[in-house]
Amino acid sequence: MANNRVRRLVCLLSLTACTLLFGIPSVSKAQQAATPPASGESEAQRTAWFKQAKFGMFIHWGPYSLASVEASWPIMRPEPHWNITEAEYVSLYQRFNPVQFDPKAWVSLATEAGMRYMVFTTKHHDGFCMFDTALTDYKITNTPYGKDITAMLAKAAHNADMPLGFYYSCPDMHHPGYRDTTKPASVNWRGEPSRPEWGTFLDYMEGQLRELLTEYGPVAVIWFDGGGKSYNGQRFFDLIRHIQPGTLVNNRIGLDADYATPEQFIPDRIPTKSNAKNLHELIKSQAPAPASLPAPDDFQLWETCMTINDTWAYNKNDTQYKSAKELIQDLVNVASKGGNLLLDVGPTPEGTIQPEFVERLEAMGKWMKVYGDSIYGTTYGPLQNLAFGKTTAKGKIVYVHVFDWPPESRLEVPGFQGRVGQITVLGDKKKLKYQQENDKLMIQVPPTAPDPNDSVLQIVVR
């Protein structure tokens, strides 16, 4: 541990010196140009777990939880309802002491909810680091708590075989290379890449990414946020590929990278490489989804991130909770278009996850125990315009998700292609009777819905 500290302090003095002394390669422009693109096979191998997982936990946590305010935005876009000054916000870390933090409990909750990966905010836009970086004093180990929370969570996740990714903000209100910090953050929060200090900030980013990728075990995802072309994203994409080739990278650093990340909404159609004009911010379209499905090689890997209430961080005043039924149907809707759902929790200042979130996650987990086969490892469903629900697919199985159970025990599935072999309610081996004429499928279903949130029929196609 002492040797690691020395090594990291040397890196702080000079990334170039760190390269020379310890043999950690710096990614030069020449090396970037020489880096061969990943083959289709290696890309498929890297993304296979992500396509299988479908459901993950996003965690927004930091000293801001003490004030029940959103992460970073109260100093970037101050509004009266936040009721906090920039100076007060920046000093919150001096009181941050989450003594009830239990990383095993968080991983256990994610597992119980049916989640297959986690993404943790190591640094948000405010610049406060939830890991023991050697590159700034504005970090978790300089709080009353004093422990490296990221390391604790990584250990718990790895011990439970739970893939863990790291959210890393590109903007940084605290770093003088990012902006002139003598001014209020609200004046220049978008950064000042034209200043000569900008290069020192990019070096700072590189140093911190090296720390995260070398000192915390396998990293499933680097989840960038707030980035653009001024960040020279290829530099960091190549750095990540060099240190941990299997790590996925999202599209928020000025590159398409591995997958797109719509925020707080579910696209109304299957995202494809050809219909997404801007993969960094998928735009809702009011047009109906096309009847034909995209070719597999045109499909755009994607993940929607969403909150359970209206804020990412803990906010005791935000009680606008989505119901468990809404969240289950959101997950199904995302999966029906081939995507993943990254569902956010904002832990309390004490380090616990509030009971309203726990209750909903446990309800989702209860549903997933019965119907998880209709989500995990599936791709977009063959029928995208059903009035009563959604479809997902896996091999020769089509899963019909029925949100609105038919009152007359007869479900009509229009436009169904392929010959049906058998139909059952998922979780029940009893075969259902059906009639199939051309592309119209009529199924005799039980008089009452097997599940009040979403009942799933499993159709095996010959």
| CB-count burial class (<10 Å; 0-12, 13-18, 19+) for 283 | exposed
DSSP 93: G
Q: pLDDT category, 274, cuts 50, 70, 90? A: confident
d(CA 118, CA 59): 8
Options 3.20.20.80, 2.30.30.100, 3.90.1170.50, 3.40.50.300; which CATH number does 42-284+298-374 get?
Answer: 3.20.20.80
- If we measure between CA atoms, which residue out of 391, 399, 403, 387 comes closest to residue 461? 399
Q: With helix as H, strand as E and coil as C, how does 226-271 read?
A: CCCHHHCHHHHHHHHHHHCCCCEEECCCCCCCCEECCECCCCCCCC
149 closest CA partner among 158, 140, 157: 140
Q: Radius of gyration of the chain from Cα atoms?
A: 24
380-436 residue pLDDT tens:
999 999 999 999 999 999 999 999 999 999 999 999 999 999 999 999 999 999 999
> Residue 229 contacts by C-beta under 8 Å, 6 or more apart in sequence?
254
Q: Where in the chain is the domain with CATH 2.60.40.1180?
A: 381-461
CATH of domain 381-461: 2.60.40.1180
Q: Which residue matches tokens 């200090």? A: 197
Q: Which residue has the tokens 């060099």?
A: 242
Which ranges in 102-196 belong to alpha helices (H)?
103-112, 149-159, 185-188
Half-sphere exposure for 39 (CA within 13 Å, toward CB): 3
Q: Average model confidence (pLDDT) for the chain?
A: 90
Alpha carbon distances (Å) from 284 to 13, 264, 271, 336, 406: 46, 11, 11, 16, 30
Q: How confident is the model at residue 285 (pLDDT cuts 50, 70, 90)?
A: low
pLDDT in tens, 206-265: 999 999 999 999 999 999 999 999 999 999 999 999 999 999 999 999 998 999 999 999
Q: Does the pLDDT value for residue 291 go beyond 70?
A: no
* CA gap 118, 309 in Å, rounded: 19
Q: Given this model, what pLDDT does residue 11 score?
A: 45
Q: Identify the CA nearest to 306 among candidates 261, 258, 371, 271.
A: 261
Tens of pLDDT, residue by residue over 180-191, are 999 999 999 999
Residues 6+ apart with CB under 8 A from 267: 282, 284, 285, 302, 304, 337, 339
Q: Which tokens is 324 given?
A: 């468990």
9, pLDDT greater than 70: no
Q: Is 8 helix (H, G, I), strand (E, B) or coil?
A: helix
Does residue 284 register a pLDDT over 90? no
pLDDT surpassing 70 at residue 280 = no
- Residue range(s) occupied by CATH 3.20.20.80 in the chain: 42-284+298-374
Residue 20 pLDDT class (50, 70, 90 cuts)? very low
pLDDT bracket for residue 91 (50, 70, 90): very high
Q: What are the two backbone dihedrals, phi and then psi, of residue 120, each rounded to the nearest 5 degrees?
A: -115, 140
